[in-house]
Amino acid sequence: MSRISDLQERFQVFAGRPGRVAFAPGRINLIGEHIDYSAGFVLPASLALGTWTVAAPRDDRNVRVLSEGQNETEMFPLDVTPKAASRRWSDYVAGVTWALQQAGCKLRGADLLIASDVPMGSGLSSSAALEVSVAYALLTISNASLSPLEIARAGQRAENEFVGARCGIMDQFAATHGQPGRAIMLDCADYSWQSAPLPATHRWVVANSLVKHAVADGEYNVRRAESEELIDYVRRRIPQRARLSELSGAEANELMSGLPATLARRLRHIVSENRRVHEAFAALTSGDVVLLGQLLFASHESLRRDYEVSCRELDVLVEIASGVPGVLGTRMMGGGFGGCTLTLVEEPHVENLREQLRLHYVQSTGKEPDTYICEFGGAGGVLA
Ligand code: GAF
């Protein structure tokens, strides 16, 4: 039985009637970490893994939602507001319901069934996959529509204003604009983007540290507040630079000398990471995987040392992968403070890499990491 008919059958059991099926993918981010919310550039690629939402309209103005992953059902009214946030998984669903209506959509009450194969809190963007698949499902059963960009922004708004995580646009954008086998370089200032093919001879391996990161938790929002402080500071000092990513190396060095040490390091990460995204995009376009790998190593070092969003377990995974033959580059990926690493490796060395990660990570931490060889997919949408 296909995945879609299997989901439809389970929905029939849950809701007693047939439903429409929407999907949205998780993502990896090749490079460009923690700079989407300071109007920087990012380079994500959407995965075949993702989240499905099956939906049918209800006659009343409630949304009833079954999460198969949580094994729980919740219900909330269609006119829900951020005041009702409960810090539970259902906030993401209620937040999207709220944000779509804020965007002017007339929604119907709904029964929803959610199933996902993106591990939660692993750095593969489980939240955005959930938000975007719920958005597509609610829109289709309400005969409403928004553009992919509007859907991405509604997902981000749900997370920022309802859930309380001040994330950028990268994850939702990847879920609504991904292209099979390609990475997209997004300019988060104006949402313009271009794509380049992922190398066919190499594989991307994700290793989950099993340390759960929660974007809504404090440190992520602290980084965002620090970057806003930097944006203000730069505007005051060099008014002609509207964005941090436009600073030259010399300008950044000069500005850093006037900043407290922590903010100076944050700025160094933002400026250097933006430069690495452009270099990585050029390397992808020309097929220079060696340079791409070097940029991954440099990104990790910058995230660890300057932006301070890594953790011991992520550093251990990076250190192990760095010593494995065939590895071109590796780094922590996503929000950090846990979650996963991303490693670029020559195809014949993939299984050895996974084995070495398992063996040495167990020795260092007592935990066995999940590893996943990336399969890439396209954008989210309504499937049936
Ligand atoms: C999380 C956020 F949701 C993204 O917006 C981005 O900031 C990322 O962390 C770090 O690059 O995935």
Residue whose token pair is 């890594």: 310
Pocket test for ligand 1, best of 31, 46, 170 (most atoms within 8 A of CB): 170
Pocket test for ligand 1, best of 33, 130, 131, 167 (most atoms within 8 A of CB): 167
pLDDT of residue 120: 80
pLDDT, one tens digit for every residue, the chain (384 residues)? 799 999 999 999 999 999 999 999 999 999 999 999 999 999 999 999 999 999 999 999 999 999 999 999 999 999 999 999 999 999 999 999 999 999 999 999 999 999 999 988 778 999 999 999 999 999 999 999 999 999 999 999 999 999 998 999 999 999 999 999 999 999 999 999 999 999 999 999 999 999 986 655 688 999 999 999 999 999 999 988 878 888 988 999 999 999 999 999 999 999 999 999 999 999 999 999 999 999 999 999 999 999 999 999 999 999 999 999 999 999 999 999 999 999 999 999 999 999 999 999 999 999 999 999 999 999 999 999
At 22, the amino acid letter reads A
Token output for 381: 């949408």
Could you tell me the distance, in angstroms and rounded to a whole number, from the CA of residue 124 to the centre of ligand 1?
10
Sheet holding 72-77: strands in order across? 72-77, 62-67, 110-116, 44-57, 20-29, 381-382
3-state helix/strand/coil string of 230-251: HHHHHHHHCCCCCCHHHCCHHH
pLDDT of residue 217: 67
Could you tell me the distance, in angstroms and rounded to a whole number, from the CA of residue 28 to the centre of ligand 1?
11
Ligand 1 atom closest to 168 (CA): 5
Catalytic position from the list 91, 171, 190, 232 = 171
Contacting residues for 294 by C-beta, under 8 A, at least 6 apart: 328, 329
Token output for 48: 């075949």
Pocket test for ligand 1, best of 27, 30, 31, 34 (most atoms within 8 A of CB): 34
Note if 171 is an active site residue. yes
Ligand 1, pocket residues at CB < 6 Å:
33-34, 36-37, 125, 167-168, 170-171, 215, 334-335
Could you tell me the distance, in angstroms and rounded to a whole number, from the CA of residue 268 to the centre of ligand 1?
18
* Phi, psi values for residue 254, rounded to 5°: -65, -45
